[in-house]
Amino acid sequence: MPASPPARSEVESLQAYSAPLEGRRGLLRLDFNENTVGPSPRVVEAIRAIPADHYAIYPEYDGLREAVLASLADMAGAVVAAPPATVPVPPVGAAIRTDGVPAPVTGSLSQQPARRPCLRIEQVGLFNGVDAAIHALFQAYGAPGDRLLTTSPTFGYYTPCALMQGMVIEAIPYRMPGFAFPFEEILAALTTPPAEADGSWCPPRLLLLCNPNNPTGTRLAPEAVLALAAAAPHTLVVVDELYEAFTGDSVLPLLLAPGGKQDPEGTAGADPFAAYPNLLVLRSLSKTAGIAGLRIGFAIGAAAVVDRVSRVTGPYDINSFAVTAAFAALADQAYVDTYVAEVLAARQWLVERLVAAGVRHHVDGGNYLLIWPQRPAAEVDQALREAGILVRSMAGKPLIDGSLRVSLGTLEQMGRFWEAFALCDARPV
Ligand SMILES: Cc1ncc(COP(=O)(O)O)c(C=O)c1O
């Protein structure tokens, strides 16, 4: 029998990134960190109103980048009220603050002095979800033998993307106890050749920072992200801010504030990424706006980087439904803010129960936490599933083997989870 032709050797040895996506409808889904209540009614209305001829033709993207810019500008103008990141920022350079709180900037963009840096549409890339942006940036920047520097454990999709390019992965573990960010180790791996290195040592090609980190929730102060980018000008530093809405730890408010390092003169309309041309920020509407199934994500950075990453995608990769939904979701920030506030309240409620019941857990940034059941995690996972609740087993993951990652939803949903968990893990409610 003739055999099928082999794929590239990197692909032949690749394990496909698979997630347990099937059969989730109708259950309480605390397994993918999605928004648990769905999108804003305005998004639903906008999708219902789409005429058939709108999807008979290829999608149009005009205006969506502007809408993203407007929404980022509004966010950068908002007071950042999140508590400080728990990860202390090591004193690397005088410009780095140590409390992890983004520079407080108040009022909307229109009320700010004109001397504010300003993103241009060429600095926003549109992708079919952030996963597609991640895939594309590896394709654009990762060559065989190049190094990916990242942390461990972290979001699982970085690994196959690096391996399919033939890259070498250096994953630095979070510091125990407490899953603290290994700042010094990352900085050293970025800037210092190992003792045994010969003259051909190069800095890593890519640094992937997930902030806050999925699944440990570890928060890294945005000033520390900028410090790493400044220390490694030959490395593309990618900060995956998928869950920043739950903490406010984003580099964008810092970059968009007037008079920062990127623009000490406070020049009106200066490029916010001028001092960080090697930094790329990833954002998505999956986890907060409730449109994970429509697939839309953004990459924001220097125009040259956004251009290179966009070169390796197709011209119509984002479908018309996603475009319409994204416009409507970006226009209803109040809906997202209300949902985030509800999740944070529910988190506090659940954490109080976990503490009172003596359940080992770890909670930090993001809309999720880790729980170590007293019974084997696989059994509790299965028992919860039978009770109609899905969580994600972290079996086999370094540092967190034996834990379950539980996405946070509304108070009512956390109440249901807690009742079922207490029963499955034989805990007093
Ligand atoms: C850290 C992180 N980055 C990226 C993604 C992918 O997001 P999207 O739905 O925008 O593709 C996820 C989804 O779970 C995630 O947790």
pLDDT tens-place string over residues 255-314: 998 876 666 676 778 999 999 999 999 999 999 999 999 999 999 999 999 999 999 999
What residue ranges define each of the domains in the chain, with the CATH number in brackets?
25-39+334-424 (3.90.1150.10), 64-331 (3.40.640.10)
**Alpha-carbon span 87 to 231, nearest angstrom:** 19
| pLDDT class of 117 with cuts at 50, 70, 90 | confident
Look at residue 80 in the predicted model and tell me its pLDDT: 37
Spacing, Cα 71 to ligand 1 middle (Å): 20
pLDDT tens-place string over residues 218-256: 999 999 999 999 999 999 999 999 999 999 999 999 999
Is 240 close to ligand 1, i.e. is its CB under 6 Å away? Answer: yes
Look at residue 199 in the predicted model and tell me its pLDDT: 83
What contacts 306, CB < 8 A, 6 or more positions away?
122, 123, 124, 125, 280, 299, 300
Q: Which atom of ligand 1 is nearest to the CA of 128?
A: 11
| pLDDT class of 108 with cuts at 50, 70, 90 | very low
pLDDT tens-place string over residues 51-82: 999 999 999 998 999 999 999 988 766 533 34
Q: Is-contact 255 280, C-beta < 8 A?
A: no
pLDDT tens-place string over residues 149-206: 999 999 999 999 999 999 999 999 999 999 999 999 999 999 999 888 888 899 999 9
Look at residue 161 in the predicted model and tell me its pLDDT: 98
Is 297 close to ligand 1, i.e. is its CB under 6 Å away? Answer: yes
Most ligand 1 atoms within 8 A of CB, residue of 17, 238, 286 to mutate = 286
Residue 399: how many CB atoms within 10 A of its CB?
A: 17
pLDDT tens-place string over residues 118-131: 999 999 999 999 99
Scored b (16 or more CB within 10 A) or e, 238-252 reads bbbbbbbbbbbbbbb
Is 226 close to ligand 1, i.e. is its CB under 6 Å away? Answer: no
Chain mean pLDDT for the chain: 89
Look at residue 81 in the predicted model and tell me its pLDDT: 35
Spacing, Cα 20 to ligand 1 middle (Å): 15
Per-residue pLDDT, averaged over 384-408, amounts to 97
H/E run at residue 137: helix 130-141
Q: What is the identity of the amino acid at 70?
A: A
Spacing, Cα 331 to ligand 1 middle (Å): 22
Of 155 and 113, more confident:
155
Is 212 close to ligand 1, i.e. is its CB under 6 Å away? Answer: no
Percent of the chain with pLDDT over 70: 89
Spacing, Cα 242 to ligand 1 middle (Å): 6
